[in-house]
A = this chain, B = another copy of it.
Amino acid sequence: MATRLSDVAARAGVSVKTVSNVINDYPHITAHTRAKVEAAIAALDYKPNVSARSLRKGRSDFIALAIPEMASPYFAELGAAISRAAKRRGITVLIDQTEGEAAAEKLVLDGMRGQLIDGIIFSPITTAPAKIGTAGTAKPLVLLGERPAGGTFDHVAVDSVQASYDATTHLISIGRRRIAAIGVGGGAGTGAVRRKGYRKALKAAGLPHDPALELAGTGYHRDDGAASMRELLALPGRPDAVFCFNDLLALGALRTLADVGLSVPGDVAVVGFDDIEDGRYHSPSLTTISPDKEWLARNAVDLLLERISGNGEAARRDLTVPYTLEIRETTAG
C-alpha cells in the first residue's frame, strides 16, 4: 500500500485537511505547521494519488495534443514545444497520433479518454474545418492550422495566405518566372489556403497562372515531394522555381533535383514552409517560412488553460502566429 494523505497527517500530528492545504498551497497556514507537514511528506516519501485528486476535483491537469503523426519533424518539434510550455504551467501533455485517420480524429472530437483530460489542442488533417465547428465536444478545444469558416473554437495559426504570398514574392524577386507549387491538395484546407497566397503573388507580379504547375500530390511527406518534382520535370516547360507547401515536400523535391543533376538554385530555386531542422542543415540549406513555434506553443497552451479555468463564456479568440521568411541557399546561391 502506498502512503496516503492520512498517513502524513498522522505522522505530522495534524488533520488531513491541513495536509491537503499545504499540498495545494492554500493560505492561513503557519510556517510551523507547514514545516511539520513538509517534514512528514519528505519522511514518508508521500506522492499524492493523481487519480483520486482528479476524480474529486473534476480536473486532472492533463491536456491532449492531437496531431497527425509525431514522427513528422514539424509535429515532433511542435509537440516538444507544447510539452515544455505545458510543463512550465504544471500541466502534462498526452500526445495522440491520429495518423490522419478520420476515425481517430472523430474520437478526439468526441472528447475521448473519458474524463481524464481537461482539454485538447487539435491539429486536424482529414477533418474539414467546417465540420469541426459543429462537432459536439464537451471539453475546451484549441484548434491549430487553417482557420475554420465560422468555427466556434479558439484558434491559433500562421497567416498562411500572407506567408505563401511572401514566399512566392521572394521567388519572383530573385527573377523567377515559372514558379510551380507543390502540395496544393493538402489536408484540412492547408493546400487551398497556401495556394491562394501563391496565386495572389503571381497575379500581383503580373505573371501568368499555369495550372500545370500546381501539383496536388497526395500527402505532405518527402516521397510526395520527390514524386511531384519528377512530374514537374516531365513537363514541356520546366519551372525555374518551386514553392513547396511544407519543408518535407521541399526536401523530397531537392532529392529529385539532385538525382537528375539539376543545380539549386541555379536551375531551380526552392522554398519550403515550417522551418524544420533538417532544412537548415540540408545542403543546400532550405529557404523557408519559419513560424515561431515557441510562440505558438505558449499561446495555444495559455488559451486552453484560460478556457479550462472557467471563462468558457468568453468570446472566441483567433491568434496569429508570427513568422519570418528565412532566406537560405536554395534561393540565394
Contacts and interface: CB of A to CB of B under 8 A. Distances in A.
Interface of A: 2, 47-55, 60, 69-73, 76-77, 79-80, 83-84, 92-95, 97, 111-116, 138, 222, 226, 251-252, 254-255, 258-259, 277-278, 281-283
Contacts of A283: 254-255, 258-259
Query: What 4 A-B pairs have minimum CB-CB distances, sorted nearest first?
Result: A258-B283, A50-B114, A76-B76, A51-B55
A155 to B, nearest CB: 24
A245 B254 CA distance: 26
Nearest to A87: B97
A71 B60 contact: no
Contacts of A70: 70, 76, 79-80, 83
B252 A49 contact: no
B73 A114 contact: no
A264 B219 CA distance: 31
Nearest to A222: B281
A52 B55 contact: yes
A251 B83 contact: no
Given A69-B80, A71-B79, A92-B94, 20 more contacts: A2-B138, A49-B114, A50-B51, A50-B115, A52-B55, A53-B114, A70-B79, A70-B80, A73-B73, A73-B278, A79-B95, A80-B97, A94-B94, A222-B281, A251-B278, A251-B281, A254-B283, A255-B283, A278-B278, A282-B282
Contacts of A252: 281
Contact of A77 (B47, B60, B71, B138): B71
A48 B114 contact: yes
Given A94-B94, A281-B251, A80 B71 contact: yes
Nearest to A285: B255
A222 B277 contact: yes
A252 B278 CA distance: 10
A168 to B, nearest CB: 25
Given A76-B73, A83-B70, A222-B277, A47 B114 contact: yes
A97 B84 contact: yes
9 contacts: A49-B114, A51-B115, A55-B55, A71-B79, A71-B277, A83-B97, A92-B94, A92-B113, A282-B282
A95 B254 CA distance: 33
A132 B9 CA distance: 32
Nearest to A225: B281
Nearest to A111: B47
